[in-house]
Amino acid sequence: MSAPEALELFSHPFKAMGSPCDIQLYARNHASAAAVADLVVADVARLESRYSRYRDDTFLSAINRVAAAGGAIEVDEETAGLLDYADTCYRESDGLFDITSGLLRRVWRFDRAATPAPEEIGPLLARIGWQKVRWRPPRLEFPAGMEIDFGGIVKEYAADRAAALCREAGVRHGVVNLGGDIRIVGPQPDERPWRIGVQHPRRKQAAVGTLVVGAGGVATSGDYERCIVVEGRRFGHVLNPKTGWPVQHLASVTVVGELCVVAGSASTIAMLKEADGPAWLERLGLPHLWVDVDGNCGGSLAAGIEAEPPAGD
């Protein structure tokens, strides 16, 4: 019997969707690793070119022009799948995970230390609500004045697709990291799992601890990625679509799921559920870790996480 083929670990950093990204995979040589990495980078770029909210030439922007004016548009199969998933998240979260809530970004600016006035938020809340949209695949119909945003879904979906592309190309051992949204391609060649650090929500360049994960996806939602501090109070970018204000109870939530997109939406829903988030995560049954704004930690992964030594800001 011949010896197993020697594999070497290759890392391919790149930037996409406004985030630093990295593909780590085991391959026979640099050329084969680079070929697979190119496939992944191209597909992530394709998704960004279709669903970025920051560009006028994306399909999402075309949808939102219809949504702003009021009217209907037919979507392709991939977009329909994303909308179906968003609909499921809306229902499972009791309306808290709402892809029509991106309008709130117009008054919540995280490049200045000021909160919007209530009279700025109220008119936007009247234009938010997935239940106001008529979704009958493949037709999407809006009343005037709305918009949608696939934030919280697309980057995680891209990570899942990236792992699938790696496996289709013959890669069996690797990990994809798209700005903190992680999908395991497969364990290391000796079957050892990957070690994934969990960002501390209050200490830059520090981790709460390390997760040991051999399969699935890992995603974290928190109040620290984009935030402002006003009069000593922190306001993060996770906004409640019913109140128009940032969540205030949990500082971060990390979830491990079979798919990264499931882990990502679950972590965001838990943040949005505020004090009810930990109990909701327990009922959901996925491995998870939460840190509240007072620094308390909990969740099914809390006992098993490998603690990191304390570090200052």
What secondary structure letter does DSSP report for 295?
Answer: S
Whole-angstrom Cα distance, residue 223 to residue 297?
15
Asked if the model's pLDDT at residue 311 lies above 50, the reply is no
Asked if the model's pLDDT at residue 249 lies above 90, the reply is yes
Asked if the model's pLDDT at residue 305 lies above 50, the reply is yes
Average pLDDT of the segment spanning 285-293: 96
Better-scored residue on pLDDT, 233 or 142: 142
Distance set, CA 279 to CA 226, 243, 257, 271, 299 (Å): 26, 21, 17, 12, 9
Distance set, CA 130 to CA 90, 153, 271 (Å): 8, 15, 19
* Domain extents in the chain: 8-47+153-307, 59-142
**Among the ranges given (130-139, 205-214, 244-253, 273-282), the one the predictor scored with the smallest mean pLDDT:** 205-214
Whole-angstrom Cα distance, residue 81 to residue 254?
24
pLDDT digits over 73-97, tens only? 999 999 999 999 999 999 999 999 9
Average pLDDT of the segment spanning 284-306: 91
Q: What is the DSSP string of 199-260?
A: E-SSSTT-EEEEEEESSSEEEEEESSSSEEEETTEEEES-B-TTTSSB--SEEEEEEEESSH
Place 268 in a pLDDT band, splitting at 50, 70 and 90: very high
Backbone angles phi, psi at 252, to 5 degrees: -160, 150
| pLDDT score, position 232 | 84
| pLDDT score, position 310 | 40
Q: What percent of the chain has pLDDT over 90?
A: 85
Place 110 in a pLDDT band, splitting at 50, 70 and 90: confident
pLDDT digits over 131-169, tens only? 999 999 999 999 999 999 999 899 999 999 999 999 999
pTM for this model (two decimals): 0.94
Quote the CATH superfamily of domain 59-142: ApbE-like superfamily (1.10.3980.10)
Place 5 in a pLDDT band, splitting at 50, 70 and 90: low
Average pLDDT of the segment spanning 47-63: 97
Q: Is the preceding omega at residue 138 within 30 degrees of 0, hence cis?
A: yes
Do the domains 59-142 and 8-47+153-307 match in fold?
no
- Mean of the per-residue pLDDT values of the chain: 94
What secondary structure letter does DSSP report for 262?
Answer: H
Asked if the model's pLDDT at residue 304 lies above 80, the reply is no
Enter the CATH code of domain 8-47+153-307: 3.10.520.10
| pLDDT score, position 202 | 86
Whole-angstrom Cα distance, residue 234 to residue 295?
14
Asked if the model's pLDDT at residue 313 lies above 50, the reply is no
Asked if the model's pLDDT at residue 309 lies above 50, the reply is no
